[in-house]
Chain A
Amino acid sequence: MSHFTTIFPAILPTTLPAILPTTLAVTDAQTINAALLVSALLFTCGLIGFLTRRNMILMFLCTELMFQAAALAMIAFGRMHHDVSGQVFVIFILTVAAAEAALALGLVVLLYRRRETLDSEAWSELHESA
């Protein structure tokens, strides 16, 4: 216990203020840029996942990935204008994501009971007979 009390007060006050302002405050524009890039890449990943995955549950999970990307972009743009509205919008995104998860999973369970498979190809003949 003693070395904690001796080391920590010595390190924390000197290093934390030295590190935090430079990484968090000075490079604000860079943080926003990185967040926007990550959000664009995540959205792309979610889109590709939605198109390529054949498991119905994972397809819906990929839409959640796209929701995440949208939320990150909201917060980054909100930070850019120092506005809290972006964060409020993320609350709404969260609501929609939760509602979507509940409904989508209900649907998936229903479909699974019918065909005993999660393969979305099993429902590819959901059109009128040509």
Chain B
Amino acid sequence: MSSPPIATCTLLEAAVAVPPAFLLTIAVAVSAAGLALLMQPKHRALRVGGTIIGLAGLAMLFVEVLKRATVTGEEAGLPPVFPVIFGFLALAGAVRMITHPRPVFAALYFVLVVVAIAGMFLLLGAEFMAFAMVIVYAGAILITYMFVLMLAQQSPVAGIGEPVYDRMPREALSAIAVGFVILATLSEAYFSPTAQRFRNDAVTGSIVSGTQQAWARLGEMPKLLLQTARMVKPDVATVVEFDSKSATVTAKMANGSTERFTLDEKMIPDNGRQVGVELVSKFPAGLEIAGVVLLMALFGAVILARKQIELGEDERRALAGMRRFTVDGEAGGASGDSRADASSIASDNGGSAR
């Protein structure tokens, strides 16, 4: 099994030789070819080759994209191991999810994607959303999907295996072509030199304004501000003024005097608090609408999932309090009873309507 590393090496060398402007597009095309080979459910050898080619394409993409991110004049420390690991995990899970013949396994691979994405969130400093993602997606939404899969799945037929609609992809080549054309344009837009320069400037320039924004958010939370001020000086009575640019607190002390002191950067409110304040102070209407959306989804799901009982024309007429169509000629004892039931229902309905 010495072929995979050699293939990867030659591809990477080829990637070094071509002009950098086309590198992303070529890498995208290589990944697309890998995915196209992976979607051949009948040939195992093709799938193995597809895995290797796809991994090589992904490696090219990552190397090129990370290379473009190096800020000039800033010596990067370790290579960004964790983003690459989480990224590969997420992508492997996603590819396996769209190619796996068994739906339950595909859903489980989606859990892997969610966990890897949560890891990415942690690296990007969004701790609250990382855990919310794991709880809500992996814990709630995926369980719902699994339930429905278990309820509605057809059992595999002996000798054939999974039903054909799970084994055979539909229009794989054209779908991959469409998807990767979008990806090529998207990556060219994301990682074009102009966009990259703008992003690098934003990343390096916004660290100061980032802490200032965090302080400004602390200024919107009077209680927490008082607590934070008391962490510096225990006998603060009230905070008179807070300057978010210099993180300076003007406070009235317990003995009546006024003092000014600056807060330490360690006292920046944590991510969960910042998200909460941002949510309720900047997007209160969005919060309300989200609640309404969830409520409507609840109603919709209840109405959709209700078992619909097919009533005949006669029963409907009877329930609406109208006369039946049935001719009474052949009425025996049993049908007479049912008529009496129907009319009593009708009169009940009429009573409740009044």
Contacts and interface: CB of A to CB of B under 8 A. Distances in A.
A80 B106 contact: no
B84 interface: yes
B123 A54 contact: no
B65 A37 contact: yes
A42 B113 contact: yes
A75 B124 contact: yes
A37 B87 contact: yes
Given A36-B190, A97-B141, A22 B77 contact: yes
Interface residues of B, number: 110
A92 B286 contact: yes
Contacts of B279: 88, 91
A82 B212 CA distance: 10
A73 to B, nearest CB: 9
Nearest to B132: A94
B152 A119 contact: no
Contacts of A52: 39, 98, 169-172, 175
B301 A33 contact: no
A81 B212 CA distance: 12
B165 A101 contact: no
A118 B152 CA distance: 7
Contact of A118 (B58, B124, B125, B153): B153
A84 B279 CA distance: 9
A40 B190 contact: yes
B66 A30 contact: yes
B129 A91 contact: yes
Interface string A35-68: 1111011111111110111110110111011001
B283 interface: yes
A123 to B, nearest CB: 12
Interface of B: 31, 35, 39, 58, 61-62, 65-66, 68-71, 74-84, 86-87, 90-91, 94-95, 97-98, 103, 106-107, 110, 113-114, 117, 120-121, 123-126, 128-129, 132-133, 136-137, 140-141, 144-145, 148-149, 151-154, 163, 165-166, 168-172, 175-176, 178-180, 182-183, 186-187, 190-191, 196, 199-200, 202-204, 206-207, 209-211, 213, 217, 271, 274-275, 278-279, 282-283, 286, 290, 293-294, 296-298, 300-301, 304-305
Interface of A: 19, 21-24, 26-38, 40-49, 51-55, 57-58, 60-62, 64-65, 68, 71-72, 75-76, 78-88, 90-92, 94-103, 105-110, 112, 117-121
